[in-house]
Amino acid sequence: MSDDTKQKSENVDIQRRQFLLKSTGLLGGVGMLLALTPFIASWFPNRKTQSSAQPIHVDLHALAPGQKMTVMWRGKPIWIVRRTPEMLAALSHHDNLLRDPDSLVQQQPTYAQNKSRSIRPDILVLVGLCTHLGCSPQYKPEVSEVSVDWPGGFYCPCHGSTFDLAGRVFKGVPAPINLEVPPYRFESENVIVIGENEA
């Protein structure tokens, strides 16, 4: 084989190697990108998570005085209680038994930092999770349903924490602070929007 033919053969071999190296690198990069796509996509919230973070509208027409309803917002149970005049009157008789009767710890928006911890006294809106370990307390509105000194409200059977009908925690129980009041506003007389503050 002549030197000229040998040189042409070597040039063809070099070009083939370069083509194979570039093709392999390109295919490897595309493969890596395809392999990383699900991993990177897992960093972003899915549609269900995004929709659960949106404000929700709740119709209160069917909620009778003294009743509680539960809705879900951001994966948390939200309690809505239509309090009776008797329930509201009872809120001022046990401040000395409460850990934070004036709701000084920021567990509520400023518009709910009052005796009833609500925008409208008759409608109570709370996150239904105990502030001790995140259990879901039971609604026990009747006086002395749990103990002699307890005026009724919310009772966590897991560790014995008690809250009044404004979600304020009693002294001497494991829960350290009052139940949380989520952001909410009234859209109309009987429709509230949970997840948005008042203007």
For residue 129, give the 3-state DSSP assignment. coil
Look up residue 98 and give its DSSP letter.
B
- Interatomic CA distance for residues 90 and 115, integer angstroms: 11
- Interatomic CA distance for residues 11 and 106, integer angstroms: 77
Backbone phi and psi for residue 48, each to the nearest 5 degrees, phi listed first = -65, -45
Annotation marks residue 132 as catalytic:
no
How many CB atoms are closer than 10 A to CB 182?
A: 19
Radius of gyration of the chain (CA): 31
Residues with a known catalytic role: 159
